[in-house]
Amino acid sequence: MGLNLDDKKAVVAEVSARVANAQTIAVAEYRGIEVGDLTVLRAKARESGVYLRVLKNTLVRRAIAETPFAGLSDQLVGPLIYGISEDPVAAAKVLNDFAKGNDKLVLKAGSFSGKTLDKAALQALASIPGREQLLAMLLGVMQAPVSGFACTLAALAKKREEEAAAA
């Protein structure tokens, strides 16, 4: 059953609200994917904070018109699933990781920072570590000098104790 005009306006408004806060949109063709697999994909998207939805392409074109994602409009053809995220790499990563294990999901295009991405660029974006991973790496780098300094102090204290015991 098709959507009536009010339903279509509601979908466009919802997608427009998501796009307003988004940094990335990733698009994939989902032809032939089983319902159970889509359920798994949606669960992974929710865990990563990605808005994932199958939408009518014409409604998405209206929602992204006059936004930095407007250049993506030419790529919106066929049965598509849309991943929209505030995290720069989350949407691309979720769709790319799922596509590796399911050949029926085919990455098609994306948009990041106002630039339209092809499949290869979308895969490259997905290979970048996510925000959480980058923060963990940064924390490790920041802790390294402190832990090294603590180890040096402990070794120095042990050496002084040994010298005091020997004297």
Segment 119-151, tens digit of pLDDT: 888 888 888 877 777 788 788 778 777 777 777
How is domain 5-128 classified at the CATH fold level? Alpha-Beta Plaits (3.30.70)
Instruction: State the Cα–Cα distance between residues 128 and 145, nearest whole angstrom.
Output: 26
Domain regions of the chain by residue span:
5-128, 130-167
Per-residue pLDDT, 108? 92
Q: CA angle 36-41-44, nearest 5°?
A: 130
Angle, in degrees to the nearest 10, between helices 57-64 and 5-21 = 50
Q: List all residues 6 or more positions away from 21 whose beta carbon is below 8 Å from its beta carbon.
A: 86
Which range, of 13-17, 23-27, 153-157, averages the lowest pLDDT? Answer: 153-157
Instruction: State the Cα–Cα distance between residues 33 and 103, nearest whole angstrom.
Output: 9
Residues 44 and 89 sit within 8 Å (Cβ to Cβ): no
When pLDDT is cut at 50, 70 and 90, the band that residue 3 belongs to is confident
pLDDT of 49 strictly over 80: yes
Residues 126 and 89 sit within 8 Å (Cβ to Cβ): yes
